[in-house]
Structure 1
Amino acid sequence: MTRLVVYNIVATAFFLAESCFLFSYYLQNTGFNEAFFYHLRPDLVYAGLKEYLPVLILVIVCMLGSLFLFSSLLTRIDLSKGKISLLSLGLLFVGLFISPPARSFVAYIENLPPTAVDSSLSEIFPDLDSRDVTSRRTGSNRPNIVLIYAESLEQRFFDEKLFPGLLPELKKLREQSLDFTNVAQGVGAEWTIGGMVASQCGYPLTSSFDVKGNDLSLFDEFLPGTTCLGDLLKKDGYHLVFIGGSDSHFAGKEVFLRSHGYSEIIDRYVLEKTLADKNYVNGWGIFDDTVFDYAIRKFFKLSKENSPFLLTLLTLDNHNGFLSKSCEEPYASGKNKYLSSVHCSDQLIAGFVEQIRRSPYSDKTVIALVSDHLAISKKVKDVLEPSQMKKRLTFFINSPDGKSGVIENAGIHYDIAPTLLDFLGYEVQGQMGFGAPLTTGDGFLPSRFGEDKWRSQAPNLVAIGKDLWKNDLFLTRAGISLDSQNLFLSLGGRNFDLRSWGASDVPASLVYFFDPTSLKLLNINAYAFDEGLQKSTLSKELLKEKDKLALVISRAKNLPGFSDPTANPNQWVYFCGKPGSAPFSGGVITGDFHIPFDTIKELGASDLDNEMIRLRQNLINR
């Protein structure tokens, strides 16, 4: 029986590893990478649950079925024959560690960044010793700018041999524009928010305070140590507006935008109010035809105000092959739903640009289009593979003077903002991350390390990017305060947004760990949609760090041993103290609360209490 249990445990691990690996291929046609683990969160999985529910059910059924058959087979084998048993068990272990998922995971681990930025990085990138970046406009003209992030719309979709007539209007538009044909996807830019950060700031997206899953919407600042495109344009008098069909709170997108110059953000919740048919939405938000209808009206309104603006749009339909109603003709008789969505994007984007170019405001407007990232949906990646074209982003700039041409200088996501600024007539003082204008030569990294060899610097790029979060935060005399109405937690001079992603009125369960002596914030563990927690998850996590100072906010049912057992299980409670000590501050959250600094210091200085540890352990195990 013991061997049967071991077999099932190893087989389950093997199946789960294979399932995750195959699911990653299903989503993005590649194995484990940063984008996969970024979205491997209860809250983010919950967001896509409806979309991928059939696949998840199939995985669960196959796993249970295989375990049943496997167990049935083992019961029929004479396990007393030790050699057979050990051989089969050994082969299963070996298979687990030499399998493609294991190799893929090892490759991912090897590419993780160093734990700290050391002096050698300054020697490799001396340009970044100073993070001061400013810009100077060389002319008097300040054109209006429309920046379109086209979801997954990479260059291989323009391959006429594979996809004849797929993007006829955008092909014409590229020919009328300055077309940058050799821009590669950057590290940490494999998904939308990563692509936006890389293209506007010149750095890869990283996490802060080791937030698991990078629930970056927690923070009141997003990469405060860097200067981005929006910062420079705002300083020169531009009004920055963002329009997108998804929830702007997702993955910290709104925090990023507001931290770097954007003052007006229109997302699904604003756009939903404009819908005549309230049911005309998809699993991720608002269809693109609604977005472009709103955007053109916004463009005209902004243009009439005679003040320069940057209007940034983010399309959504290509995320999963959604098809806007206004696109009546599917591509190739609708054989591939995703390609029909791409074909629809051709009509919507080109139609939007045409309306601008036919307007009286055309002469004052520069339009740039860029892929947020390469295509990642399994629904289309397979059909892209036969293309002989390089995997490159689409990036072109369309100007009112009709300036056109093809620029083949090697670039990366990080070079997009410097290129756009140079095109607009700005001279950048200082080094804008890992970016350089492609209008004058190869990008910053390709020019130093080679068009493809720059990827060997990936760990260093991410390490430097992580340093931009300014993670040295210490508790101050102000102590810790909760604003229960706005769901903000204030500590160390920073505000933390406690709302779970996608549910503005539902807090996330959060665990903050501090050094008990210096009161430095060490890391944060966030669990959006706390229903995904097991009963003892948080309590066990606390006891593993029993000698650290902790602050926890969650429902009472999630904190056995650290909350009043008589409290309503669904009431929100907090605990502040050492998990292994008796003194603590906490209770049911009925409104705002404040923990004084002196109280926090006393809690941090308290001694461990073995009896209290045993008591809490017993309450957890009930």
Structure 2
Amino acid sequence: MWALLLLDCQQSAKTNWPRRRWFSIYLSLIPCFLFLFYVYLESVFGYFDWAAMFMHVGAGVLTPGVVLECLMNTGNTILVILVVFLGLGALKARGTLTRGLDVALMAFFLAANPMLTRPIAAAVHLNPLHDFLSKHFVDITSLTNPAAGASVTAVPKNLIHIFIESAERTYMNEATFGDVMGPLLEFDRRSLSATNMVQLAYTNNSIAGMVAANCGTPLLMSYFTTREYLEENSQFLPGLTCLGDVLKSRGYRQSFVSGWPLGFTGQGAFYATHGYSSLFGGSEVVAAVAGSGSTFGASDAQVLDMSFDILRRAQRDGKPLALTIAVSGGHAMDGYLTDKCIGKTGLSPQAPNILHAVKCTNMLIADFIHKAEAEGLMANTVLVLQSDHLSAPSTVTDQLNRFERRNFFSLSGDGIRPSTYAGLSSVVDIFPTILDALGVPLPNGKAAFGVSLLGDRPTMVQALGQAQFDDAIYADDVLVRSFWQLKPARTAAASEAEPR
């Protein structure tokens, strides 16, 4: 394009043509912008989905500092986009971009843009898989009835569930990434460890991974329905029965601690809707724990320090505890290295910052667990460690893509035999596996779309194959409506859980 523009400039100089405008509006301008916007989102997040985009914007995206950081880290992509966008305008101004070529470009940008073609195709053709998921969904709402609690073990087990940002199992390849996962290996070896956990459609961001692990389903979204319940009712998937709902009915005291603001992608609303009584986001953590914080809120060190205080205090009230922790060091594009770890990861100084950040977070988690064990706080406790999703495009994506990428999941505790689950699984299987480990009876070891990995039944992704499962997820237009339909019992529930 620039070669055409330079050639055109040279011809103008030779022929002494009168000076013209450097930029003109062209017919393909808006289609070009939309196409380049799609290219940008694909480069930053690795995928594009209208519902996910609107949900993130509506529920809360990021702090301004993180947005600026993202823009800075994608400078090369932005530069290429500007070159194309402005270059076409310059060619139009000089007459090189003829009307016929402009129309052809407009048609190309419209036809080549999945942002437009996917929703149009979905609206025109009813996908035969549109109700497939509804026929395979296992509803466990009955487990929230008081009578169901009678079958639970006499002394309920506590639960500590740690979502580790982007810490996928692929990082265990030490030859490529060093020992960034080393601090967690001792826990993985004494756990039920899933080594072949794939990433399904609509489980590829933090809140989607949380929903999948807590509710046994990908995050199915419909923009207008989602927006209504998030903005008007402060409800997140109110029609779905999740882990927190089951545990609340059994008397659990549930807390969620994250370094991100609670409004980030609706995480606070999700946990408040589903039985959590104490919510601590970045601002609450920073206010309670000494430290410098981070670009987006609280550092992982602060998050884990506060979580430890909650764990220690919970031992006094006699109620079973469910403590969910979200740490964020491995977040793309280049990670967030906690000050506490600077110079202490043991990795080469030349290693990308994100590798230092991932190892730092894992070191802090290991310290948290060791300290809790030393004080006797892990007795009768199920410990779950998992990546929330595979890493989004980052400074080490090329290296990650050399391998068959898999999520990280390990579950340990009293009565759980160390073993490796090598069969194909997905994050939705974590939900019934946790319930099973806590002694909650399940219908045939199933819940929602998940199958307990403590049993011997094939998972849904094994039975269908990932491709068909993903196709059914994209096609669904039945369950998405029921998941976001308000249950009468939920009307006042969200108001009970507020930031502390």
Fold similarity call, TM over 0.5: yes
Correspondences of 1:168-567 after superposition (within 5 Å) = 168-207=182-221, 210=224, 216=230, 218-277=232-291, 280-320=292-332, 321-328=335-342, 329-330=344-345, 331-387=347-403, 390-400=404-414, 403-429=417-443, 432-442=447-457, 444-461=459-476, 463-470=478-485
Shift in Å at residue 188 of structure 1? Answer: 2.4
Distance 2:125 2:298 in 1: 40
Aligned 1:67-82 pairs, distance under 5 A = 69-77=87-95
Give the conservation status (yes or no) of the 8 Å contact 2:273–2:493: no
Alignment match, 2:46:
29
Name the SS for the 2:330 alignment partner: helix
Structure-2 residue corresponding to 1:601: none
Shift of residue 218, structure 1, vs aligned partner: 4.2
Q: Tell me, what secondary structure is at the counterpart of 1:223?
A: coil
Equivalent in 21, 29, 38 of residue 12 of structure 1: 29
Query: Which amino acid letter does the alignment assign opposite residue 124 of structure 1?
Result: K
**2:450 & 2:23 partners in 1: Cα distance?**
52
Partner in structure 2 of residue 162 of structure 1: 176
When residues 337 and 60 of structure 1 are mapped into structure 2, their CA distance, relative to the original with a 3 A threshold, is: closer
Query: Does the 8 A contact of 2:206 with 2:388 survive in 1?
Result: yes
**Separation in 2 of the partners of 1:423 and 1:496?**
27
Higher fraction of strand? 1
2:18 counterpart residue number? none
Question: Retained in 2: the 8 A contact 1:288–1:315?
Answer: yes
SS in structure 1 opposite 2:385?
A: strand
Judge conservation of contact 1:184–1:412 (CA < 8 Å) in 2: yes
For residue 301 of structure 1, what is the amino acid of its counterpart? R
- Secondary structure of residue in 2 paired with 1:23: helix
**Aligned residue pair count:** 464
1:426: Cα distance to partner? 1.7
What TM-score, normalized to structure 2? 0.80
- Correspondence for 1:96: 109
- Once the 2 structures are TM-superposed, how far is the Cα of residue 194 of structure 1 from its aligned partner? 1.6
Displacement after TM superposition at 1:326 (Å): 1.2
How far the C-alpha of 1:31 sits from its partner, in A, is: 4.9
- Which of 35, 39, 44 is the matching residue for 2:56? 39
1:99-140 CA distance string (max 9 Å, x none):
4xx146535765799999999558833755x85445554532
Q: Which residue of 2 aligns with 1:52?
A: 70
1:366, 1:398 within 8 Å by CA — same for their partners in 2? Answer: yes
Distance 1:123 1:98, change over 3 A: closer
Q: CA RMSD in A?
A: 3.8
Trace 1:530-609 onto structure 2 (pairs within 5 A): none
Contact 1:25 1:31 in 2 (8 A): yes
Choose between structure 1 and 2 for higher RCO, CA contacts under 8 A separated by at least 6 residues.
2
Which one has a larger percent helix, Structure 1 or Structure 2?
2
1:117-156 matches, cutoff 5 A? 121=132, 124-125=135-136, 127=138, 132-134=142-144, 135-136=148-149, 137-156=151-170
Compared with structure 1, are the counterparts of its residues 94 and 419 closer, same or farther at alpha carbon in structure 2 (3 Å cutoff)? same
- Offset, 1:155: 1.1
Report the TM-score when normalising by structure 1.
0.66
**Identical counterparts, % of pairs:** 22
Letter in 1 for 2:68: K
Which stretch shows the higher mean deviation, 457-466 or 167-176? 457-466
Unaligned stretches of 5+ in structure 1?
80-84, 474-492, 498-503, 505-622
Shift of residue 414 of structure 1? Answer: 1.8
How much has 1:300 moved relative to structure 2?
Answer: 1.4
Counterpart secondary structure, 1:220? coil
Q: Which residue of 2 aligns with 1:576?
A: none
The code of the aligned residue for 1:298 comes to I
CA 1:105–1:407: 2 relative to 1, 3 Å: farther
Shift of 1:211: 5.2
1-side partners of 2:462 and 2:209: how far apart? 21
Q: Deviations over 1:585-615 (max 9, x none)?
A: xxxxxxxxxxxxxxxxxxxxxxxxxxxxxxx
1:57-114, Cα deviation, whole Å (9 max, x unpaired): 88777666656554444444489xxxxx344224312431354xx1465357657999
CA 1:391–1:37 in structure 2 vs 1: closer, same or farther (change >3 Å)?
Answer: farther
Secondary structure at the counterpart of residue 348 of structure 2: helix
What secondary structure sits across from 2:239 in the alignment? Answer: coil
Alpha-carbon distance between aligned partners in 2 of 1:262 and 1:72, rounded to the nearest angstrom? 56
Aligned equivalents of 1:436 and 1:113: distance in 2?
Answer: 35
In structure 2, the residue corresponding to 1:145 is in which secondary structure? strand
Q: Distance in 2 between matches of 1:126 and 1:276?
A: 45
Deviation, 1:445, is: 2.2
2:59–2:266 contact (8 Å) kept in structure 1: no
